[in-house]
Amino acid sequence: MQIVKYAFQQHGDDRGMLVALEEYNDIPFEIKRVYYMYDTKEGVTRGYHAHKSLKQILICIHGSCKIRLDNGREKKIVSLEKPYEGLYVPNNMWREMYDFSPDAVLMVLASEVYREEDYIRDYDTFLKMVKEGLEHA
Ligand code: T46
């Protein structure tokens, strides 16, 4: 499984740092939605789902967290701990977010507006869809 982790350009001067993200330039899709999670309680794991078509970039703009990615064949863990790093999470990828530091703010740039129908929340259904996708590829 190929992990795509971006190191965004940092504009720094003696005042501090700034990162600017433009759709299609820095982000490989049109940004239709931005959301973020914070105050995540100790020991909590979020996610436990995949998306049929949604593509996203995850950026831990403060603090740190870990992301477990699973394409149905292979699993990988990615740490996000820099505000200039972005993890690309394509569709058909199971994700779990965990090990949030108490100060973590995980921001997500999304290619689609929120649609519950796009979620695959059952792991066996996800595995079945991956298998069927491979058979029809
Ligand atoms: C994902 C990971 C990384 C909305 O009303 N609008 C939204 O845009 C989102 C993202 C959520 N919600 C509501 C739906 C639920 O009642 O907020 C509540 C929490 O959402 P959820 O349990 O899906 O959150 P996570 O942290 O498990 O997953 C989220 C995204 O939903 C998901 O697309 O890839 O972050």
Beta bridge partners of 17: 12
State how far the Cα of 93 lies from the Cα of 46, in Å rounded to an integer.
Answer: 14
| Ligand 1 center–CA 14 separation, angstroms | 37
Q: Which CATH superfamily is domain 4-135 in?
A: Jelly Rolls (2.60.120.10)
State how far the Cα of 121 lies from the Cα of 58, in Å rounded to an integer.
Answer: 19
Q: Provide the 10 A C-beta neighbour count for residue 126.
A: 20
Instruction: Give, in order, the Cα–Cα distances in Å from 12 to each of 18, 19, 25, 75.
Output: 6, 9, 19, 35
Q: Is 108 in the pocket of ligand 1 (CB under 6 A)?
A: yes
Catalytic residue IDs: 49
Q: Which residue of 108, 115, 123 sits with most ligand 1 atoms within 8 Å of its CB, as the best mutation to test the pocket?
A: 108
Question: For tokens 């995540």, what's the residue?
Answer: 40
pLDDT at res. 15: 98
Indicate the domain borders of the chain. Answer: 4-135
pLDDT at res. 133: 83
Which residue type does 104 have? A
Low-confidence ranges of the chain (pLDDT < 70): 134, 136-137
